[in-house]
Amino acid sequence: MPTILQFQPLSSQPSPAFWSALNNFKLEKLKLDDTRQPITAWLEEGREIADREAKGGEGLIGVDGSVGLGSAAFGEEGSHSFRPPLGSTSLKGVFKNFNTVEEFKATDPKKDLFNSIVDEMLDSFATDSPNLNPFLLVTFADLKKYVYHYWFAFPALVSKPAWEMEDRGLQAAEQVDVAEIRALAKNMSFSDGAYLIKGPRGQRSAGPLSSAKSFFEGVIDEERTVAFHDPSSIVSAPGWPLRNILVYLHRVHSISSITVFCLRAGSSRVCRASLPSPETSDKPSAVGWERNKVGKLASRVADLGPMMDPMRLADQAV
Amino acid sequence: AMRDYLSPVLRESKFKEHGRITPEEFVAAGDFLTFKFPVWQWEKGDSSKSRDFLPADKQYLITRNVPCLRRATAVNYTDADEDAEKLMSFLDEAEEAAGPDGKGKEEDEWVATHIGRKSEPSAINDIPDMTDSPPLPTRELANVNLKDSNEEEIEDIPDLDDIPDMDDEGAGLEEEDDPAVRIIHPSEAEVKSTVGQNLLQVRTYDCLISYDKHYQTPRFWLFGYDENKNPLTPAQVFQDVPADHAFKTMTMEAFPHSGQQLASVHPCKHASVMKKFIDRMEAAQGGDGVAEGDPKSAGANSVSASGSGSSSGKKKWGIGGVVRKVTGGGGSGVTADKPEAVKKEGSEDEPQGVQVDFYLVIFLKFIASIVPTIEVDSTTATAL
């Protein structure tokens, strides 16, 4: 029995440097402007960490890659100010800061924002450079206290019926395949951290997602592959970004069966995904607000007062 | 900070004599580290706080999301394989009560490292969680905290706690019950990682290395996240620091390039410790040098040396030999875009001996002995 393909949700990880960048951005550029702003994050691949203390040899611990935000998230002056850490791909998003906590808490503005990003993503499907994994960050910054309320959303289109994974499940990929597929992407810059692969081992070639129709022309199903940088480290589930990639490939390029290659910093994995029957609805619904650490849909708070408040720092410095 | 301000910038190379380095040497060593181990990156930091004796885009080094699998209190190191060079012992809780004794130890004890050393995890059933772990002097840090809305009340923000429609709002935002989302209940994940593997939770740390102008050494900083990527409180960070060091050599201080309070290893002993490391390595290298011959043949070896990581890693103080291979045999194993500064520094030194490029790699091994549960020393896995 094929099983429903489940996806490991993304998790956000804004660094302290990001919050201080937000401070400056708000004070010097935005001021009371609460329009949406472009923002850049990075997405790490899932990793495996050797546990040196494990009993009876090497245990491997999976660490999911997270969506990281650093000091250059708002794109400062200077050309190469944004450098994602090694092995990460960059992720474009939309940032909106609300000026009052009431606005931040209200449902409708957030919902509208979310929907508009989904609509833009769907519109981009028709273009040559679809933007498949945009993210949304809404904040309310209490600048006097250095307290930041924030909520991330990683919109994902819901496929009905859901994609399924074939019996073999998510298997470990062979090293020779990983090396070849990674090498193919080296000299080409693919957006969204994903690209298409065709051909047998040793003779593979790569192409961008938007060319799927022509790229896969005359290629048998078994040799159609999509590779993506996978933030998941779970052995049974690929990461969140794959959702929109699959929906895109199906809706725009009528692909309903494909091999998925999950490129991870640990051991990469591969599975065969298929859609039992074509999607029916015209417009897919979307999900993706980040849950807090108890698994609820709610915003989070970062209180950096102790680290950044000059008054409190002065108290400690005595 | 005042002392830092008043201290002159070190100009003359002192690293062989005192273990101290100049800013130029810090940059050279940093270039080498980032080149050899690209998980490390240069950062430019807050431009208003940049130090003029360092290049604007090379203010400090950072590596992100370094895993920390266990709390320091959950790992008791055995002394079964103790040798003369490994003097540092981790006090268990009983010894900790004796407290101040630890301070009287000699400098030598800094030179301990637990790299590759076997340890006995403490009894599996007895996983200390936050409340069970030994009391930390958190009172000193009473005003340093990073709270999460779900854990603690935040008094000053009105309405935050009673967000009555927040749950409803969530339901409004997400109408679908989505079978394709893999939601793990947090407790389930925790249970999975703790039972059977004796793990508490996988925390991750951003590790930073700045240059300390007063002590003329690198300085090490930590910023941690819990398994849900929320920032750790200082008290939580100190759970990952052995009791020997927490609040003594490891304290919360303002990170010079951002002003934020981060946990840091105080650098007052760094120079003497680094000198000892370097001396030992030079001594060991003298022995190696005879066997391995001139740099040319050593260069030829470099491929095999870096390939068989585990075997060369066992020679504890043979790192110096690898230094020479790496710098001497740059053409063979390594691509051409090696930073100029590294070459220059390398050729000025005598061909034998530890070169300053390697300073930060050694430094990380030293740091790894202070925070053994945080895997700062990615260099062991990669090349040695």
Tokens read off for A263: 């490129």
* Mean pLDDT for the stretch of residues B356-364: 87
Beta strands in chain A (DSSP E): 3-4, 12-14, 37-44, 47-51, 59-63, 67-69, 88-98, 135-142, 147-157, 164-165, 171-172, 194-198, 205-207, 225-229, 257-263, 269-274, 286-289, 300-303
Interface residue A172 vs chain B (CB under 8 A): no
Residue of A103, A150, A297, A300 to mutate, testing the B interface (most B Cβ within 10 Å of its Cβ): A297
User: How many angstroms separate the CA of residue B194 from the nearest CA in chain A?
Assistant: 11
User: How many angstroms separate the CA of residue B374 from the nearest CA in chain A?
Assistant: 11
Residues from chain B that touch A281, judged by Cβ atoms under 8 A, are none
Phi, psi (rounded to 5 degrees) for A241 = -60, -25
CATH class of A3-158+285-317: alpha beta
* Mean pLDDT for the stretch of residues B179-198: 49
Q: Going by DSSP bridges, is the β-strand pair A257-263/B60-68 parallel, antiparallel, or unpaired?
A: unpaired
Tokens read off for B311: 């075997």
Interface residue A60 vs chain B (CB under 8 A): no
pLDDT at A281: 72
Q: Which helix (H) or strand (E) holds B250?
A: strand B250-254
ipTM: 0.77
Per-domain boundaries in chain A: 3-158+285-317, 164-274
Active site residue B68: no
Evaluate whether B25 touches B54 at the Cβ level (below 8 Å). no
* Mean pLDDT for the stretch of residues A280-296: 82
pLDDT tens-digit series, residues A223-235:
899 999 999 888 8
Q: Cα–Cα distances in Å, from A268 out to A230, A262, B98, B115?
A: 8, 6, 49, 28
pLDDT at A240: 92
CB contact under 8 A, A53 and B175: no
Q: From CA B60, how far away is CA B41, in angstroms rounded?
A: 8
CB contact under 8 A, A297 and B171: yes
Evaluate whether A211 touches A196 at the Cβ level (below 8 Å). yes
CB contact under 8 A, A16 and B180: no
B4 pLDDT tier (thresholds 50, 70, 90): low
Residues from chain A that touch B1, judged by Cβ atoms under 8 A, are 317
Ranges A29-33, B10-14, B290-294: which has the least confidence? B290-294
B5 pLDDT tier (thresholds 50, 70, 90): low
The more confident residue out of A305 and B294 is A305
User: How many angstroms separate the CA of residue A35 from the nearest CA in chain B?
Assistant: 21
Tokens read off for A225: 């592959």
Residues from chain A that touch B75, judged by Cβ atoms under 8 A, are 53
Q: From CA A116, how far away is CA A104, in angstroms rounded?
A: 17
The alpha carbon torsion through A104, A109, A111, A115 (nearest 10 deg) reads -130
Catalytic residue among B268, B283, B296, B309: B268
pLDDT at B104: 38
Residue B107 in this model has a pLDDT that exceeds 50: no
Residue B230 inside a domain? The answer is no
CB contact under 8 A, B150 and A50: no
* Mean pLDDT for the stretch of residues A151-170: 89
Q: Cα–Cα distances in Å, from B57 out to A239, A297, B221, B313?
A: 34, 39, 19, 33
Residue B336 inside a domain? The answer is yes
Residue closest to B51 by CA, chosen among B63, B40, B43, B39: B43
Please give the span between the terminal C-alpha atoms of chain B, in angstroms, as a whole number.
37
pLDDT tens-digit series, residues B303-319:
333 333 333 333 344 44
CB contact under 8 A, A6 and B180: yes
pLDDT tens-digit series, residues A3-37:
888 898 898 989 888 888 888 888 888 888 888 89
* Mean pLDDT for the stretch of residues B174-188: 56
As a whole number, the mean pLDDT across chain B is 62
As a whole number, the mean pLDDT across chain A is 85
Residue B280 in this model has a pLDDT that exceeds 50: yes
Tokens read off for A237: 């589930």
Residue B232 inside a domain? The answer is no
Residue B112 in this model has a pLDDT that exceeds 90: no
Q: Using CB atoms, pick whichever of B67, B202, B229 lies closest to residue A11.
A: B229
Residue B102 inside a domain? The answer is no
Interface residue B3 vs chain A (CB under 8 A): no
Window 97-116 of A: residues touching B by CB (8 A cutoff) are 101-102, 105, 107, 110-111, 114
User: How many angstroms separate the CA of residue A209 from the nearest CA in chain B?
Assistant: 22
Residue B159 inside a domain? The answer is no
* Mean pLDDT for the stretch of residues A203-219: 89
Residue B231 inside a domain? The answer is no
Give the percent of chain B with pLDDT over 70.
45
- Cβ neighbors of A252 (< 8 A, separation 6 or more) are A125, A126, A130, A212
Q: Using CB atoms, pick whichever of B144, B172, B183 lies closest to residue A107.
A: B172
Phi, psi (rounded to 5 degrees) for B121 = -60, 145
Q: Which amino acid is at B364?
A: L
pLDDT at B282: 81
Number of H helices, E strands in chain B: 14, 8
Residue A171 forms beta bridges with which residues?
A270
pLDDT at B74: 64
The count of domains in chain B is 1
pLDDT tens-digit series, residues B332-347:
333 334 444 344 444 4
pLDDT at B164: 39
Q: Do A3-158+285-317 and A164-274 have matching folds?
A: yes
CB contact under 8 A, B69 and A287: no
Range of the domain at B343: 272-366+376-382
pLDDT at B111: 42
The chain B residue lying nearest A57, using CA atoms, is B118
Q: Going by DSSP bridges, is the β-strand pair A147-157/A286-289 parallel, antiparallel, or unpaired?
A: antiparallel
**Three-state DSSP class for B265?**
strand
Residues from chain A that touch B69, judged by Cβ atoms under 8 A, are 49, 51, 53, 61
Residues from chain A that touch B145, judged by Cβ atoms under 8 A, are 303, 306
The more confident residue out of B103 and A142 is A142
pLDDT at B174: 61
* Mean pLDDT for the stretch of residues B241-248: 80
Residue closest to B371 by CA, chosen among B113, B63, B120, B83: B113
Q: Using CB atoms, pick whichever of B64, B119, B228 lies closest to residue A85.
A: B64
Residue B113 in this model has a pLDDT that exceeds 60: no
Residue closest to B70 by CA, chosen among B7, B144, B137, B120: B120
Ranges A114-123, B63-72, B76-85: which has the least confidence? B76-85
The more confident residue out of B203 and B177 is B203
Residue A312 forms beta bridges with which residues?
none
pLDDT tens-digit series, residues B54-72:
998 889 999 888 888 777 7
pLDDT at B296: 43
Q: From CA B349, how far away is CA B370, in angstroms rounded?
A: 30
A119 pLDDT tier (thresholds 50, 70, 90): very high
Give the percent of chain B with pLDDT over 90.
6
* Mean pLDDT for the stretch of residues B132-150: 42
pLDDT at B6: 66
Give the count of Cβ contacts less than 8 A between chain A and B. 193
Please state, as a whole number, how many other Cβ atoms lie within 10 Å of the Cβ of residue B75: 19
pLDDT tens-digit series, residues A90-113:
888 999 999 998 889 888 889 999
Residue A55 in this model has a pLDDT that exceeds 60: no
CB contact under 8 A, B173 and A111: yes
- Which range in B13-17, B22-26, B175-179 is most confidently predicted, on average pLDDT? B22-26
Residues from chain B that touch A11, judged by Cβ atoms under 8 A, are 228-229
Is A164-274 assigned to CATH 3.40.50.300? no
Q: From CA B161, how far away is CA B11, in angstroms rounded?
A: 55
B359 secondary structure, DSSP code: H
Q: Using CB atoms, pick whichever of A8, A105, A300 lies closest to residue B149.
A: A300
* Mean pLDDT for the stretch of residues A277-298: 82
Q: From CA B15, how far away is CA B270, in angstroms rounded?
A: 11
pLDDT at B286: 64
pLDDT at A228: 92
Residue closest to B269 by CA, chosen among B311, B218, B197, B303: B218
